[in-house]
């Protein structure tokens, strides 16, 4: 079964968090493509430094995104398993309660990491937007929009896990993810402005 068939099946995983990470992987791939179209061309000399940086980190970033995609599904599977634990006596009830909390924290941490990785990419794309190959500016725009979408989807997945129960650790994850989303919103607006300006020239 392909990943798209798996996502489209009735199984709860892979779901939105996995899609967010895969979306981020596409964003990294497009950023690498724009970077490769920029280096080696004197016309885009100002974009060589950021392009080389993106290319040098591209493979590691892609692998990280894929790992997070897998991790998100595994984390949510643990939540499902914890809810299926027996609860016929006080000991089992307490064990189940602890397992649900721990698995929910894990299910919130992974999309928060996806959001953080998306922010990292967004934070370096403005320079590529300014100085990268103009002929690939729409690909740069696509990369940035995908990165932001990954952050947004991941933030929703954090919120739904946090909202399911009250816990200090979950609240910390939520607060951190909210900061990530706010910074990402500022960056995508900046990149959109740069792209619009360059496309108008």
For position 136, what pLDDT does the model report? 97
Residue 91 maps to a domain: yes
Residue 5 maps to a domain: no
How far apart CA 109 and CA 99 sit, in angstroms, is 15
Per residue in 58-82, pLDDT (tens digit) is: 999 999 999 999 999 999 999 999 9
How far apart CA 6 and CA 180 sit, in angstroms, is 29
Short-list 29, 28, 48, 30, CA closest to 38? 48
Tell me the residue range of the domain where 50 lies.
Answer: 13-199
Per residue in 76-112, pLDDT (tens digit) is: 999 999 999 999 998 989 999 999 999 999 999 999 9
How far apart CA 55 and CA 45 sit, in angstroms, is 15
Mean pLDDT of the chain: 94
Residue 90 maps to a domain: yes
Residue 57 maps to a domain: yes
Q: Enter the tokens of residue 23.
A: 């979306």
Residue 6 maps to a domain: no
Residue 77 maps to a domain: yes
Work out how many domains the chain is built from and give that number.
1
Q: What is the CATH number of the domain that holds 184?
A: 1.20.120.680
């Amino acid at each position: 079964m392909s990943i798209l068939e798996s996502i489209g099946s009735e199984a709860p995983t892979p779901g939105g968090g996995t899609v967010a990470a895969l979306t981020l992987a596409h964003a990294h791939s497009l950023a690498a493509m724009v970077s490769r179209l920029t280096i080696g061309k004197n016309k885009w000399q100002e974009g060589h430094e950021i392009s080389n940086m993106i290319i040098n980190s591209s493979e590691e970033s892609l692998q990280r995104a894929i790992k997070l995609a897998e991790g998100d599904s595994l984390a949510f599977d643990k939540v499902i398993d914890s809810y299926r634990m027996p609860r016929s006596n006080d000991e089992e009830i307490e064990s189940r309660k602890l397992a649900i909390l721990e698995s929910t924290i894990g299910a919130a941490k992974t999309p928060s990491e996806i959001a953080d990785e998306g922010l990292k990419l967004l934070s370096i794309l403005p320079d590529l937007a300014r100085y990268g190959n103009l002929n690939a500016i729409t690909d740069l725009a696509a990369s940035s929009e995908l990165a932001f979408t990954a952050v947004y989807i991941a933030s929703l997945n954090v919120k739904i896990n946090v909202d399911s129960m009250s816990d200090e650790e979950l609240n910390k994850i939520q607060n951190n993810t909210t900061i990530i989303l706010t910074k990402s919103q500022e960056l995508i607006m900046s990149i959109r402005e740069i792209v619009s300006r360059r496309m108008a020239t």
